[in-house]
Structure 1
Amino acid sequence: MLLFDLDGTLIDSNQAWVEVDNTFLFRRGLTPTEEYNRVVGQSIFPVAAQFTQAYYGLKETPQQIMDEWMELIGEAYGKRIPLKAGAKPFLERCAARGASMALVTACVPELCHTVLERHGLDRFFPQILFAQELGVEKRDPRFFQAVLTHLGVSPRDCTLFEDSPAACRTAQAAGIRVVGVYDPFYEGHREEMEMVCDRYIESFETLL
């Protein structure tokens, strides 16, 4: 079975989230730190909001923070965020060959469904597993164990396409074959990705 991440792997959305973080903090006279970017960039939505509130000592509740983030990002998923190069042709090729595919994502479900439908990718993924709904971050070993259990598959029968170094490392530790997908957000982790992943590609065009 082929497992696909969404943000930074199939869609070019990481920079849009950087802009959301910058705008959100700028409104409060704050700036993101390296630690903040690292933690929030790898967290599910509720955890990221809780961390943001505590890290900056904000008066807003985590729910209010998430509401503002959704207000800032919604238009991008609905109209602007593009696919990564070669992503749709690769999915079409996999589907034509009869491959079973599932989406495993930390994306907010509402945003995920919006962007999949807009780009016509929803037909490829009869099964979507959301880290937010599982309540476990993708860097947590329990996430991929939950994914394998839910799908009823063995790790040796799965290949994951993913841009996050932490998620790649966790998946590989679970026995899943990992294809790392380059994304500028993780430019500084290229060497790590090449070491952790079974294969590392610049884009899906490489596989076409």
Structure 2
Amino acid sequence: MMNGIEAVIFDLDGSLVDSMWIWKDIDIDYLGRFGLEPPPDLSREIEGKSFSETAAYFKERFSLPDSVEQIKADWNRMAWDKYMNEVPLKDGVGEYLDWCLSKNIRLGIATSNSRELVNSIARVHGLEHVFQCIMTSCDVGRGKPAPDIYLAVAGQLGIPPRACLVFEDIIPGILAGKAAGMKVCAVEDAYSLEQAEEKKALADYYISHFSEVLQG
């Protein structure tokens, strides 16, 4: 998997950190404020969207009175404590990052989450100086499956797409990495277990634990 790879780019939620469960809880609590319940298709409808795109989607679909900026601010506040205290790195990530650093492989994060939360997560886990580039979909304007964010991170890292490996846990993210011309490894996550076979078919590789990468 690592042959010819000069940069590794991680999605954040569900790929680098075990956090997808947070957003289902936040959707329930947030919409509950307005006397609403999350519809069954909500998760799939917003999958891959940027933080701003998701807030705009909520405002329109649920006819919310708050501005997009207010919705985003509320979500950041609701997620803050959980990210700071309840979200671990995915199994084996620490060892894999150490290995990449020992091989001078450049590292980046390409996330649909907010800038405030991703920076806080990096600080909590001591990763600020591990990643040479941390970028959000809001920075590039379009969320996944558009390849924009992966191409932008590769550009910042100074590595051609063909020499980049992406780790992603959702289908729109896998499609974004492939559309960018990169190798993609799908990461197993409880949130998307029912999509495991489709993820395997779309990605170049599939892992349930990061130790598998180093084991070949």
TM-score category of the 2 structures, normalised to the smaller one: over 0.9
- In the alignment, structure 2 segments of 5+ residues that lack a partner are 1-6
Structure 1 residues 168-187: aligned runs within 5 Å: 168-187=174-193
CA gap of 1:88–1:38, structure 2 versus 1, over 3 A, is: same
2:54 partner SS: helix
Larger helix proportion, structure 1 or 2? 1
Question: Structure 1 residue runs of 4+, over 6 Å off?
Answer: none
Q: How far, CA to CA, are the matches of 2:53 and 2:140 in structure 1?
A: 13
**Aligned pair partner of 1:62 in 40, 47, 68:** 68
| 1:106 and 2:112 are equivalent in the alignment | yes
Partner letter of residue 45 of structure 2?
A: V
Moved more, 35-44 or 190-199: 35-44
| 1:10 and 2:24 are equivalent in the alignment | no
Partner letter of residue 155 of structure 1?
A: P
Structure 1 residues 33-112: aligned runs within 5 Å: 33-112=39-118
- In the alignment, structure 1 segments of 5+ residues that lack a partner are none
Q: How far, CA to CA, are the matches of 2:137 and 2:120 in structure 1?
A: 17
| Cα offsets for 1:50-74 (capped at 9, x unmatched) | 1001111122221221122112111
Partner letter of residue 50 of structure 1?
A: A
Partner letter of residue 76 of structure 1?
A: K
Q: How far, CA to CA, are the matches of 1:146 and 1:83 in structure 2?
A: 24
Partner letter of residue 21 of structure 2?
A: Q
Q: How far, CA to CA, are the matches of 1:185 and 1:167 in structure 2?
A: 14
Q: How far, CA to CA, are the matches of 1:118 and 1:174 in structure 2?
A: 30
Q: TM-score, normalised by structure 2?
A: 0.90
Q: Counterpart in 1 of 2:3?
A: none
Moved more, 50-59 or 134-143: 134-143
CA gap of 1:115–1:149, structure 2 versus 1, over 3 A, is: closer
**Aligned pair partner of 2:207 in 190, 196, 201:** 201
Q: Counterpart in 2 of 1:153?
A: 159
**Aligned pair partner of 1:27 in 23, 28, 33:** 33
Alignment root-mean-square deviation, CA: 1.6
Give aligned-pair identity as a percent. 30
Contact 2:51 2:138 in 1 (8 A): yes
Q: How far, CA to CA, are the matches of 1:130 and 1:42 in structure 2?
A: 11
Q: Per-residue deviation at 1:142?
A: 3.2
Partner letter of residue 199 of structure 2?
A: M
